[in-house]
Amino acid sequence: MRMKNLVRISARILLWLIFTLCLLTLLARLALTLVANNEALVLTHASPYLRGEVHSGDLEVSVWRRHPQLSLSQLDWMATDETAHLQRLNVDSISAEIDLLSSLWHRSLVFKTLVLQGASVDFTITDRDSDDVSHDEATSASTPRFLAGLIHSSLAIENLALNVKHENEQRQIDVLHLSAGPSEKGLAMQGRLRLPRLISDDSIVEFGIHLPNVGELATLASEFQLYVNVEDLELERVGFLLPALDIKDLPARLSTQVWLSIESGQLIDAQGSLSVSDWQPHFLAEPLQATAYFQGTVAENEARIQLMSADLQLPDAALRLEQLKMNFALDSDANWALRLLQLDALDLGELNKLISFARELPEDVGPLLSDLSPAGQLRQLQLYFADLADWKSFIFSAELDQVSVSAWDEAPEARGVVGRLEASWQVGRVVLESGEFYLNFPQLFDQGWSYTHASGEIDWSWNDDAMKIGSNVLALKNDQVDAKGRFSLYRPFDKAEQVELSLMIGMANSQALQAEFYTPPVIGHELHAWLMGAIKGGAVNRAGLVIHAGLRSEAPSLPLSVQLFFDVDDARFAFLPEWPAIEDAKFFLHLRDTELRVDIAQGRLMDTKVNNAWVYMPPDAQRLYVGAPLEGDLSDITQLLKGPLGLAHEVADWHFSGQASTALQLVVPLNDQDSVKVDFKGTLHSAAVASDALELLLEKITGELSYSTDTGFSAPRLSGQFWGQPFQASVETNTNKTLIDLASRVEMPQLTRWMAMDTLNDSLSGQTDYRASVVLCGDTDCPKVSFESNLEGVSIQGPKGLHKSAADVRPLRVEIQPENTQFRVDYHDQFAALYNYGTSPRGMLRIGSGEVNLPELPGLEIEGRLSYLDADILDEWSSWIAFHIPKVSHVSSREEGVSSFPVTRLSIRVAEAVMAGQTFSNIQVAMRRLLTEPSLHFQLSSDQATGVLTQDNANQPWSLSLNELALTFKPQRKTEASLGSVEPLLTQSLLQRMPILNVDIERLELNEKNIGHWRFELMPASDHLKVHQIDASLMQMSLTGQLDWFVDPAQNSRLQLRLMGSELQNILKSWSDESAIEAKSIDAIADFTWLGGAEAFKLSALDGRFAFSAEQGRIVESGMGANFLRVFGILNLNTLSRRLKLDFSDLLKKGLVFDTMAAAYSLKQGLASTMDPLKLTGPSATMTISGSLNFHNDQFDKMIEVNIPLGSNLTLGAVLLGAPQVAGAIFLVDRIMGDQIEKMTRIRYRLTGTLDDPVIQLVGQASSTSDE
């Protein structure tokens, strides 16, 4: 029953509550309707509560939905208080849904959704705002209760423009989106905004905040969380939002993404990232770029910050930090102080670069870091402060990874340091364990020491007076050195006090070449350099170095103390750097300050034994004294002479061999090692001396030879063998020149072989005495070898002028200077030659007596005079030179790739020359050419000819152009011709050397008679000479043809000529006062062959044919005309008239007139026979002549027939008038034959006899001679 009453009562209460809720909901909906209908009245009554004037647009209300909806098109609020922060609020549109039940429950207006769009807020900030925080908090406490409902509402704001005014400067903040709503434990807000003119247009600030509820309202008084994401924020332009913050040392731009937890106004946790750009605080010289990822926590008395990574960049510097951890604690003054700093790795080089950009560093820090140039990595770095109030209480430790520091002041340089560093305020140490370690004391050594292993401990400490750095025993090794060492350095801070260094190093089982690195140059630069050059290798049994020195130059000096020793086996040791080293040496070197002693127990200098040699330098002497007994082959002296003895020029090409016992002593000034004084004395036992350049070998030499720097070489008497002959020689030195004088005999084949003139062996024979000398010195004209002999006992088979018998005495001198590539030879008074066969060969050859000098330009110059020259001499010399000279080259046998000697100048004078039977006198041949020009040009002159001989280039033929050429021809009498054969002008050897030659003779004279302008071409072939394109012209006559002159297998010639022209008498008259024949035109051809050359041409030896024709002329019967008639078999009419005792001179004085005259003859071994009889046709008679003429004996055998055309109408008077010479002949015949003349028209007679004694016989009559 009670239960039923309880249920009934509960139901009634529930119904009442529901009714009440419904009633209240209805009233709320009615109230909203009233508000919408009385909008103006509501705003008027609400304005005092809103502290400003309110204006709105259209308000629409829909109350009968589940959640009533409001829509306001415009809302404008303006503060009535000008000092208020919020001055104006303008919203384009507001739409909302009201949660009636929540509003009733919370007794405040709660919105299901509230959306504001296109809002604008004007807000003012003053500098006193930071002082009014308490006032604002009080004001916020009195916030109208209806705003508390907003906490339970879902709020959204789109496109809010927040206009902030600060100190008359207007700024705008665009809130792109802002949303807020209730969360499980409070209020959650998030938004996106843009700060115009502060952030780039596409950069957005995103934020989020969670506020817990305390009572009914969310508050900042308890713990809350904040998220901010900002990109490229210009802090300088947002300073007005934080007027109490000094931002002058803040970055210019900042980007960050951070999550913060804040409780009671205190930061308790933070994490995120931070990036700043162009940050240049006052303590940096250049802007900094930085990016960091961090997290941190703050407890009651402790704060921890950890940088997961941080990148710091400055120009030319970049530092990355990984896992940087910092612990802070509150000190006694309640200030945060650093307790512990830990870092995984730190790059010292990059850190040093960053520090170099810092300003306001202590005065000495910058230069110190610059000098030290630290590099490498510090790993597992830890810095701990035991006492927060005393920074000197730090304890620092780190692992060193390839750390290096440069030398600073007196401190050494170190690289590749690996180990552990431990340090506190005044003490520290490095436990060294390096694989690649480098240590250098630059004040003492030019080079540092590199090791593949280094271990030990280096510690330091300091006080107010000085710093002390030292080490225990350091173990140092590499593939060359196994050493132990230690050092200590005392460095006072007072610059006036000296820095003291003590260094001790011991070595064993090391390489002797390491002495270079462990011998300090402070012992003296010259001594140090000598030691480095002297020790060239070996195995160190034991060695030690102890140095005590002062390092500070500006402080009072400290006496230097150096102790150094080396005990070396299997060593290589050289007295001087350029000397060959003593091999397999065992020596002990001891240096005490400036006194040196080296004892060489044994060794080998090349192939020479060295025993008990020594080197000593007295204290402060700077001069070494060397003594070395040598026993061995003399060939080793070659190296000594060319190297340390400074005689490289004098004996550059000389080599010595054979056994010798030598005592060598040296005095070596360390400051001038080029001034070494040398003394050695040696006894030669069957020694040998050779020169490759001169191809000389002196053998079996015995005697005493000595050398001194002051007096040079000396050997008063040496004997030996040279070129297979015994010799006597001496050596002496005067004025820096060493003269070797030698006397002996020589076989000529040996001499020619040495002179590279083996081809002269056929020309030279015999044996002669000679005297030779060799001059050695340092000048360019040394060495110089000269050879002199009178050649008595030597026979020379050579051309005229060179030939001599064994009894003849002809002085010969040969001089060779291989260093300056010069060669000279003088032979009697016949010729002298001087050649330089270097890279630009040049020389001079003089024929006859006179001086020879080297020309300035490359090439060969030839000068000389000859009294007589003929073809035999020329051919003899040409053949001899062609055979011998190309192979005779003292130069080419010793110099590879030497160019030939082209002739660049020629000047030869010949008093008389006989060529081809012609005599030429006062001949001059001159030529000068440049090697850059391919052409050759010879000037020729003599009493008989002048002209030029030219060649454009080596591929073109020669051209001979003569202005005039005068020849003399004397026909041989038959008796003279039969006395013997004529020597041939052309030989096979001459033909092979003869070039192609184009000849042009402007005026050719024969026996002082001008025979015209001649041109022809000489074309040598393998077996004959072609004289082609013969073209001669004189007046109206021209002669053409060719000559082939064969020399192989036997000499024979062929001449082909053709003579054409007119007015023959003009030419004949120019040669003589009379003309044998006159003709308007003439055409003659000849084709002759004969045995022999051109010099063997004679009528009695000819084979071939001859033909001619002439027109309109006459033959004169006097002088040459009579002989001409006889040759052709024409009767001498004057002789005939005398025989007949009649005088017809008045009829014959005009000569024998003809209209045409022609004939053709064949020749066989000098016998001319008519092929076509000679036919002479005249106005009144025709004459025909046939037969033969033997040119061997001038014997005639001709038949002559004269036809007289007589007729019945032709009277004797008419004949006499028309052709008086024929009439005369008829008259003569008539007187002889009487009445028979009337019946005869043809006369025949036979001509026999010789040219000097012809016999004429009319056919049918007894013969009679012409004398009759």
CA torsion angle for 356, 357, 359, 362 (degrees, to 10)?
-10
Residue 579 has what DSSP assignment? S
Using the predicted structure, report yes or no on whether residue 175 has a pLDDT greater than 50.
yes
Residue 532 has pLDDT above 50, yes or no: yes
Nearby residues of 21 by Cβ (< 8 Å), 6 or more positions away:
101, 104
Q: Which residue has the higher pLDDT, 142 or 288?
A: 288
- For residue 538 the two structure tokens come to 């070996």
- Asked whether the bond before 618 is cis by omega within 30 degrees of 0, the reply is no
Q: Categorize the per-residue pLDDT at 1162 as very low, low, confident or very high, splitting at 50, 70 and 90.
A: very high
Backbone phi, then psi, for 1206, in 5-degree steps? -100, 140
| Cα 1266 from Cα 1268, distance rounded (Å) | 5
Average pLDDT over residues 307-313: 83
Instruction: Assess contact for 766 and 797: CB atoms under 8 A.
Output: no
Using DSSP's 3-state secondary structure scheme, residue 891 falls into coil
What is the average pLDDT across 475-495? Answer: 90
Task: Supply the DSSP symbol for 1242.
Answer: E
Of 93 and 1258, more confident? 93
The per-residue pLDDT for 113 is 82
In the chain, count H helices and then E strands.
20, 70
Which of 233-247, 391-405, 538-552 is predicted least confidently? 233-247
User: Where is average pLDDT lowest: 258-267, 621-630, 951-960?
Assistant: 258-267
CA–CA separation, 580 and 584 (whole Å) = 13
Min mean pLDDT across 865-879, 910-924, 1153-1167 is at 865-879
- Least confident interval from 240-249, 802-811, 1251-1260: 240-249
Q: What is the mean pLDDT of residues 428-434?
A: 92
Checking if the pLDDT of 974 tops 80, the result is no
pLDDT bucket at 241, cuts 50 / 70 / 90: low
Residues 26-43 pLDDT 10s: 666 666 666 666 566 566
If DSSP states are collapsed to H, E and C, what string results for 1009-1057? EECCEEEEEEEECCCEEEEEEEEEEECCEEEEEEEEEECCCCCEEEEEE
Residue 794 pairs in a beta bridge with 766
Number of Cβ atoms within 10 Å of the Cβ of 885: 11
Identity of residue 1171: M
Q: In the chain, what percentage of residues exceed pLDDT 90?
A: 21
pTM above 0.85, yes or no: no
Q: For 886-908, what is each residue's pLDDT tens digit?
A: 544 443 444 444 446 788 899 99
How far apart CA 429 and CA 469 sit, in angstroms, is: 9
pLDDT, tens digit, for every residue of 667-694? 888 888 778 888 888 888 888 988 877 7
pLDDT at position 226 is: 85
658: which DSSP letter?
E
More confident: 5 or 206:
206
In tens, the pLDDT along 248-305 reads 667 777 888 888 888 776 778 888 888 888 787 777 778 888 898 888 888 877 888 8
Residue 289 sits at φ, ψ, to 5 deg, of -110, 130
Nearest-10 Cα torsion for 285, 288, 293, 296? 30
Residue with tokens 């110059």: 861
Structure confidence at residue 1056 (pLDDT): 95
1140/1268 Cα distance (integer angstroms): 8
Among 149-158, 373-382, 747-756, top mean pLDDT goes to 373-382
Which amino acid appears at position 1130 of this protein?
Answer: I
Output the pLDDT for position 2.
65
The Cα–Cα gap between 188 and 213 comes to 11
- Residue 1231 or residue 573, greater confidence: 573
> Comparing 134-148, 999-1013, 1019-1033, 1114-1128, which segment has the lowest mean pLDDT?
134-148
B/e letters for 616-639, b = 16+ CB within 10 Å, e = fewer, are ebeeeebbbebebebebbbbbbbb
Instruction: Judge whether residue 9 has pLDDT over 90.
Output: no
The predicted structure's pLDDT at residue 1212: 39
pLDDT tier, 243 (very low <50, low <70, confident <90, very high otherwise): low
Beta strands, E only, 1097-1166: 1103-1115, 1152-1164
Q: In the structure encoding, which two tokens stand for residue 543, read together?
A: 């060695």
Question: Is the pLDDT at 728 greater than 80, yes or no?
Answer: yes
Residue 584 to residue 611: CA distance in whole angstroms:
12
CA distance 564 to 522: 12
DSSP state of 614: E
| Greatest mean pLDDT range, 189-203, 284-298, 783-797 | 783-797
Provide the pLDDT for residue 743.
93
Residue at 1114: amino acid letter: R
Judged against a pLDDT cut of 80, whether residue 666 lies above it is answered with yes
Structure tokens at 66: 């589940």
What SS3 state is found at 624? Answer: strand
Give the pLDDT mean for 979-984: 58
Predicted confidence (pLDDT) per residue in 854-883, tens digit: 998 888 899 999 888 887 787 777 777 766
Q: What share of the chain is helix, strand, coil (3-state, %, to 5)?
A: 20, 50, 30
Q: Which of 965, 914, 916, 874 shows the shortest CA–CA distance to 1093?
A: 916
pLDDT (tens digit, 9 = 90+) per residue, 956-966? 999 999 999 99
The pLDDT, as a whole number, for residue 39 is: 61
pLDDT band at 552 (very low <50, low <70, confident <90, very high): confident
CA pair distance 708, 686, nearest whole angstrom: 23
Percent of the chain with pLDDT over 70: 79
Q: Which of 200-209, 219-228, 244-253, 560-569 has the lowest mean pLDDT?
A: 244-253
Q: What is the pLDDT of residue 8?
A: 66
How would you class 301 by CB atoms within 10 Å of its CB: exposed for 0-12, middle for 13-18, buried for 19 or more?
exposed
Q: Which pLDDT score is estimated for 1132?
A: 47
For residue 975, what is the enclosing H or E element? helix 974-977
Q: Does the pLDDT of residue 578 top 50, yes or no?
A: yes
For the residues 582-601, what does the mean pLDDT come to?
90
Give pLDDT, residue 358: 79
Contact between 1202 and 1223 (Cβ < 8 Å): no
Identify any residues that bridge with 311 across adjacent strands, giving them in sequence order.
291, 320
- Mean pLDDT of the 793-815 span: 87
User: What local confidence, expressed as pLDDT, does residue 988 receive?
Assistant: 80
Q: Which residue has the higher pLDDT, 638 or 336?
A: 336
DSSP code per residue over 131-199: GGHHHHHHHHHT--HHHHGGGGS-EEEEEEEEEEEETTEEEEEEEEEEEEEE-SSEEEEEEEEE-TTTS
Q: Which of 628-632, 923-927, 980-984 has the lowest mean pLDDT?
A: 980-984
State how far Cα 63 lies from the chain centre. 101
User: Considering all CA atoms of the chain, what is the largest pairwise distance in Å, rounded to the nearest integer?
Assistant: 228
Residue 1150's Cα: distance from chain center in Å? 93
The two tokens of residue 593 are 């300050």
Domain ranges in the chain are 1-37, 47-219+226-244, 1118-1268
Both tokens of 1130, joined, read 């024409």
Determine the pLDDT at residue 1099. 84
First to last CA, the chain: 223
- State which H helix or E strand residue 544 sits in: strand 535-550
pLDDT in tens, 339-366: 888 889 988 888 888 787 777 777 777 7
To the nearest whole number, what is the mean pLDDT of the chain? 79
Q: Are 449 and 439 in contact (CB under 8 A)?
A: yes
Please say whether the beta carbons of 1225 and 1202 come within 8 A.
yes
Q: How confident is the model at residue 1043 (pLDDT cuts 50, 70, 90)?
A: very high
**Which of 146, 145, 150 minimizes the C-alpha distance to 182?**
150
**Spatial CB neighbours of 66, under 8 Å, sequence gap ≥ 6:** none
